Amino acid sequence: MEISQPLLVRDADIRRRRAGGEFLRLRLGDRTGTVSAVIEQDIARIHELAPPGAVVHVAARVSIHPRFGPELEVESLRPATAGEYRREALEDGPARSAEQLEDDLRALIATVQNPHLQRLLAGVFGKDAPTWADFREAPAAKRYHQAYRHGLLEHSLTVAQAVGAIAATFPGIDRDVAVTGALLHDIGKLEAYELADGAIEMSDLGRLYGEIPLGYYRVRRLLETLDGIQPELERALLHIILSHHGTLEHGSPIVPATREATLVHMIDNLGGRLGSFDRLEKELPSGASWTGYDRAIGGGAYFGPQAAAERAAA
């Protein structure tokens, strides 16, 4: 299969082979998915033409790598002209509109009964809150799940919705604390990632501190502005943020030690893994049922013959 079309540069890295020599790996895509391209000639010039966020017109042949899946063998690449593309057709995004996600978020927040937590959530998600505009636009990740505009809103909301639904199933869970912690668990990503023209990069603060410490200190500062909040409530929320990755080797400075923190960690992990399936399905080659190996899920993903037939017919 050959293609000739504009694509958005999502990532561009010059890498060195073990045997010597360099190559340029590009991640190119549109709203339907992302594909890698390996450039071995004229690397410096193409790297300058194709920084993350740029739109390039690519002529290429699509091949299937036995391990990594679809790849582009680029024949020519140039900057795309303004009349050749619509930006909204190139940028990935959530299945629900940002407006619907916002409405669902506000409906969920309205179910939180604790007045201190209501004030805290208003300070983050209120329409006039200084963080709201950034939170609404921010991605949830650079690569593995919800790595697009509004991704942080989508991920935080879906985790909190699931936490709220499950909280009543098991005894001893404080639903208000669990839902609030779920909504705020990834708040550090506001400072850890930067989104510009469809390209997502780690910020200096993200590289230096990590998203969990950034989130902990942001929420702690907000809690210190709330008069009358109980110390136990503060500890419960901050513990959720610090432990939501679950294990020390996955970046949490502490493991979950409460019911609420355990629930948020489990649902956050589930949401991230299912988000990886969404990403992989968009990248699935036409007619294929299986993806190649993916590090986020630890293997290949299977979508069955129906998905293969639907993609082949598209």
- pLDDT attached to residue 21: 84
The CA-based angle 259-263-268, given to 5 degrees, is 150
Segment 263-289 mean pLDDT: 86
The pLDDT score that the predictor gives to residue 138 is 93
- Would you place residue 313 in the very low, low, confident or very high pLDDT band (cuts 50, 70, 90)? low
**How do residues 100-152 score in pLDDT, each as one tens digit?**
999 999 999 999 999 999 999 999 999 999 999 999 999 988 877 788 889 99
Average the pLDDT over each of 16-25, 52-61, 184-193, 252-261 and give the range with the smallest value.
Answer: 16-25
Taking residues 273-302, report their average pLDDT.
84
Of the listed ranges 86-90, 96-100, 205-209, the least confidently predicted one is: 86-90
Q: 49-63, 237-251, 269-283: which has the highest mean pLDDT?
A: 237-251
Is the predicted pLDDT of residue 296 greater than 90, yes or no?
no
Residue 33 has a pLDDT of 79
Please give the share of the chain, as a percent, with pLDDT higher than 70. 95
Provide the pLDDT for residue 242.
98
Provide the pLDDT for residue 306: 65
Q: For residues 38 and 69, which has the higher predicted lDDT (pLDDT)?
A: 38
DSSP letter for each residue of the chain: -EEEEEEEEEEEEEEE-TTS-EEEEEEEEETTEEEEEEE-SSHHHHHHH--TT-EEEEEEEEEEETTTEEEEEEEEEEEPPGGG--HHHHS---SS-HHHHHHHHHHHHTT---HHHHHHHHHHHSTTSTTHHHHHH--S-SSSSS-STTHHHHHHHHHHHHHHHHHTTSTT--HHHHHHHHHHTTTTHHHHEEEETTEEEE-HHHHHT-HHHHHHHHHHHHHTTSTT--HHHHHHHHHHHHHTT-SGGGT-SS---SHHHHHHHHHHHHHHHHHHHHHHHHHPPTT-SB---BTTTTB--B-HHHHHHHHHH-
Q: Name the average pLDDT for the chain.
A: 90
Of the pLDDT bands very low, low, confident and very high (cuts 50, 70, 90), residue 176 is very high
The C-alpha atoms of residue 156 and residue 163 are separated, in whole angstroms, by 10
pLDDT at position 284 is: 79
- pLDDT score of 26: 92
Q: What is the pLDDT of residue 304?
A: 85
Nearest in space to 5 (alpha carbons), one of 52, 37, 38: 37
- pLDDT attached to residue 278: 86
Q: How confident is the model at residue 223 (pLDDT cuts 50, 70, 90)?
A: very high
Residue 268: the pLDDT is 94
pLDDT tens per residue, range 225-258 = 999 999 999 999 999 999 999 999 988 999 999 9
Whole-prediction pTM: 0.81
